[in-house]
């Protein structure tokens, strides 16, 4: 087997890159050369030949990876004999596992021996009316028939024959034989696939290509996605319906690549389509499939680069700010546009019910999809079992951020059936905001998921004193600190219904003045003193100690923000 692995399952991106060469070809010779180069790249074959039919004889007119050009240049084969001759005569694909054991390979034996090849696959290259040549892929090792990427090769061949020169040649030859009454129809569709290919490859794009199809066919042409979404449409001037009249659907051509439906090309007009027009539309659909694959690949690349950019921003370690701004500009990302950093994870109650802790791709897809349905631009990824998303914010207030996050959280929780929590960092308008916002969102999520109710949202403005501690600690440590300091009081309150934590909070809020605190608690001074002694017993501390007072006040302030569920 060669270094390039050959597999029957060809990735769409690899197929699109190989086929895209064809759209840059301007004449018959360039198309055939691009076809053999693309076929070799796609299949991993050692050598690829194109044998063109010239009357009753075959001759090699293009090759890729050929080691002995003289043998191939001088080779001639009769139509109907040998593997390539049989393929030309029957219009069907043939495979050779080992030419030494295959009697059909006699006429091609000189080429096999010159190239050191043992196996081959030969597929016909069809024009509009007949087979015009054979594409032969040679391999120096024995290859089973099911190891060749046949579907991808056949689709690749269809792309080549649908381009301008081959199609124009076939249409011109048909026009010469057609009756005078069909001359106008032939003029309209002559070279249409080639013109569409040029338009799609230019700045006009898909809309320009569809406009050509609509004008040549005198029809309204609509390209719809697999889900029925209209991707683009074009309407010929004389095809526009009048009043309430609607044009009938004459044809729906599936736009496919590698058995994957990318879209459907729908043609509306009053007259039925002729066979020549249907053939031209099939070729146009193949060209449109290539462009959709290219757009999909570009979109996937842009989204990946966008994620990489925001990951770097959130990491807060910017080595070269100028380079980062340049990358952002190329991606069309304005770093001054307000954005919110949101971190989403499972709520503590979901974990107690035995649900899986990690959030995965389906949760991310649901979150991103719901945001885009609301017209919100969003970039997201999975980090440490949580979802991290950067959202373009239409509003800048804390209320706007909370409302949008709440809508997304509710939609995702309903669609995937789990209890969630979310933390939101500061609104980012500068590069330095992103790293701080990421830390704040992580802290806020830990606090939100620890609270009693699911689907909690904690924003940066709700962090209180915790916001000052983000840089030096994390929410887990803060929660552990609260439980470590106030744990006995929380346990006693939960067990007996006492109010020790609230009593201590009021006592400190009144600057440890017993009479004032008793008045605030609506209890007698002696009752308060008894409670304070009980608090000292439970905690094992002296409330008069300065260090103890500091730790208790800090724990009380953090507890007011965190309020951990099940702390007792």
Q: In whole angstroms, what is the distance from residue 113 CA to residue 130 CA?
A: 30
In terms of domains, do 366 and 405 share one?
Answer: yes
Q: At 502, which CATH number?
A: 1.10.10.2840
- pLDDT, tens only, 75-111: 888 888 888 889 888 889 999 888 888 888 778 888 8
In this predicted structure, the answer to whether residue 233 has a pLDDT above a threshold of 60 is yes
Domain check: are 20 and 155 in the same one? yes
Same domain flag for 237 and 265: yes
Q: What are phi and psi of 281, to 5 degrees?
A: -65, -35
465 belongs to a structural domain: yes
pLDDT at 379: 84
Pairing of strands 420-428, 456-459: parallel
- Does 50 reside within a domain? yes
Q: Which of 268, 296, 324 is the last residue of a domain?
A: 296
Give a yes or no: residue 308 inside a domain: no
534 pLDDT more than 50: yes
Query: For residue 386, what pLDDT is reported?
Result: 86
Residue 342 covered by a domain: yes
- At 195, which CATH number? 3.30.450.40
Interval 364-409: pLDDT, tens: 888 888 888 877 888 888 887 788 989 888 776 777 888 888 888 8
The number of folded domains in the chain is 4
Q: Which of 166-175, 342-351, 509-518 has the lowest mean pLDDT?
A: 166-175
Closest-CA residue to 156 (of 250, 50, 237): 50
* 201, 223 contact by CB (below 8 A): no
Stretch 7-13: mean pLDDT = 56
Residue with tokens 């007949």: 130
266: nearest Cα among 311, 215, 228: 228
For the residues 538-548, what does the mean pLDDT come to?
Answer: 82
Q: Model's pTM, two decimal places?
A: 0.41
Taking 50 as the threshold, does the pLDDT of residue 126 lie above it? yes
Q: Alpha-carbon distance 86 to 548, whole Å?
A: 96
Together in a domain, 429 and 457: yes
Average pLDDT over every residue of 468-488: 64
List residues bridging with 457 in a β-sheet.
422
Q: What is the pLDDT of residues 171-228, one digit of tens each?
A: 465 555 544 545 566 666 767 888 888 888 887 888 888 888 888 888 888 888 776 7
Are 20 and 96 members of one domain? yes
Q: What is the mean pLDDT of residues 342-362?
A: 72
Instruction: Round to whole Å and give the CA distance between 250 and 441.
Output: 55
Which structural domain range is residue 509 located in? 475-562
Q: Which of 127, 161, 195 is the last residue of a domain?
A: 161
Cα–Cα distance for residue pair 296/307, rounded to 1 Å: 16
Do both 218 and 258 map to the same domain?
yes
Average pLDDT value for residue range 123-148: 86
Identify whether residues 445 and 482 lie together within a single domain.
no
Instruction: Write down which residue in 421, 436, 469 finishes a domain.
Output: 469
pLDDT band with cut points at 50, 70 and 90 for residue 241:
very low
* Tens-digit pLDDT profile for residues 212-222: 888 888 888 88
pLDDT (average), residues 540-551: 79
Who has greater pLDDT, 7 or 94?
94
- Mean pLDDT computed over every residue of the chain: 78
- Residues 297-323 pLDDT 10s: 776 676 676 788 888 888 877 778 888
Is the residue at 326 inside a domain? no
| Residue 137: per-residue pLDDT | 92
**154 & 216 share domain:** no
Long-range contacts formed by 14-20: CB under 8 A, 24+ apart: 14/42, 15/42, 15/152, 15/155, 15/156, 15/257, 15/258, 15/293, 16/257, 16/290, 16/293, 16/294, 16/296, 16/297, 17/297, 18/42, 18/156, 19/155, 19/156, 19/159, 19/290, 19/293, 20/290, 20/294
Question: Is residue 171 included in any domain, yes or no?
Answer: no
pLDDT digits (tens, 9 = 90+) for 423-438: 998 888 888 888 888 8
pLDDT(48) > 60: yes
**What percent of the chain has a predicted confidence (pLDDT) above 90?**
5
H or E segment at 127? Answer: none
Predicted local distance difference test score (pLDDT) of residue 172: 63
Whole-Å CA distances, 124 to 98, 131, 136, 286: 20, 6, 9, 18
User: CB of 59 within 8 A of CB of 67?
Assistant: no
Same domain, 17 and 151: yes
Q: Confidence class of residue 164 from pLDDT cuts 50, 70 and 90?
A: very low
Query: Do 364 and 411 fall within a single domain?
Result: yes
Give tens-digit pLDDT for 494-528.
Answer: 888 888 888 988 888 887 888 998 999 899 999 98
Residue 62 lies in a domain: yes
CATH number, domain with residue 370: 3.30.70.270
Q: Does residue 204 lie in a domain region?
A: yes
Q: What one-character DSSP code corresponds to residue 22?
A: G
Residues 147 and 197 occupy one common structural domain: no
Residues 200 and 155 occupy one common structural domain: no
């Amino acid at each position: 087997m060669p270094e390039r692995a050959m597999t029957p399952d060809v990735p769409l991106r690899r197929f699109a890159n190989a086929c895209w060469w064809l759209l840059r070809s301007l004449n018959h010779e360039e198309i055939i050369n691009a076809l053999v180069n693309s076929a070799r790249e796609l299949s991993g074959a050692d050598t690829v030949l194109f044998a063109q039919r010239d009357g009753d004889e075959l001759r090699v007119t293009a090759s890729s990876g050929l080691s002995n050009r003289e043998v191939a240049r001088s080779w001639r084969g009769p139509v109907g004999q040998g593997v390539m001759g049989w393929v030309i005569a029957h219009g069907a694909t043939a495979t050779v596992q080992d030419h030494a054991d295959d009697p059909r390979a006699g006429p091609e034996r000189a080429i096999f021996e010159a190239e050191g090849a043992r196996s081959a696959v030969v597929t016909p290259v069809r024009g509009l009316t007949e087979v015009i040549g054979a594409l032969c892929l040679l391999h120096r090792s024995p290859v089973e028939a099911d190891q060749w990427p046949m579907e991808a090769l056949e689709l690749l061949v269809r792309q080549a024959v649908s381009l301008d020169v081959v199609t124009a040649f076939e249409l011109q030859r048909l026009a010469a034989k057609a009756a005078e009454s069909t001359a106008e129809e032939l003029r309209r569709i002559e070279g249409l696939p080639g013109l569409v290919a040029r338009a799609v490859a230019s700045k006009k794009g898909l809309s320009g290509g569809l406009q050509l199809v609509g004008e040549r066919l005198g029809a309204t042409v609509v390209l719809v996605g697999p889900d029925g979404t209209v991707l683009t449409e074009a309407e010929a001037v004389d095809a526009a319906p009048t009043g309430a009249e609607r044009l009938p659907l004459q044809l729906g051509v599936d736009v496919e690549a590698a058995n994957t439906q990318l879209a459907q090309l729908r043609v509306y007009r009053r007259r039925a389509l002729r066979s020549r027009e249907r053939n031209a539309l099939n070729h146009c659909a193949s060209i449109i499939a290539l462009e959709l694959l290219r757009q999909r690949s570009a979109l996937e690349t842009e989204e990946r680069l966008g994620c990489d950019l925001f990951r770097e921003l959130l990491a807060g370690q910017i080595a070269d700010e100028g380079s980062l701004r340049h990358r952002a500009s190329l991606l069309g990302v304005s770093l001054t546009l307000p954005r919110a950093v949101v971190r989403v994870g499972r709520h503590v109650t979901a974990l107690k019910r035995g649900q899986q802790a990690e959030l995965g791709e389906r949760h991310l897809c649901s979150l991103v999809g719901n945001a885009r349905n609301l017209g919100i631009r969003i970039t997201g990824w999975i980090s440490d079992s949580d979802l991290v998303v950067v959202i373009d914010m239409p509003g800048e207030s804390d209320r706007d951020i909370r409302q949008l996050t709440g809508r997304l959280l509710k939609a995702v929780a309903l669609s995937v059936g789990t209890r969630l929590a979310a933390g939101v960092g500061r609104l980012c308008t500068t590069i330095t905001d992103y790293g701080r916002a990421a830390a704040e969102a992580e802290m806020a999520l830990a606090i939100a998921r620890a609270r009693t109710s699911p689907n909690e949202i904690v924003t940066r403005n709700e962090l209180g004193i915790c916001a000052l501690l983000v840089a030096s600690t994390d929410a887990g440590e803060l929660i552990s600190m609260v439980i470590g300091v106030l744990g006995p009081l929380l346990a006693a309150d939960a067990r007996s219904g006492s109010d020790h934590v609230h009593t201590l909070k009021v006592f400190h809020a009144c600057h440890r003045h017993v009479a004032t605190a008793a008045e605030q608690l609506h209890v007698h001074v002696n009752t308060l003193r008894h409670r304070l002694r009980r608090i000292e017993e439970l905690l094992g501390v002296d409330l008069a100690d300065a260090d103890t007072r500091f730790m208790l006040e800090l724990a009380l302030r953090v507890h007011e923000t965190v309020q951990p569920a099940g702390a007792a």
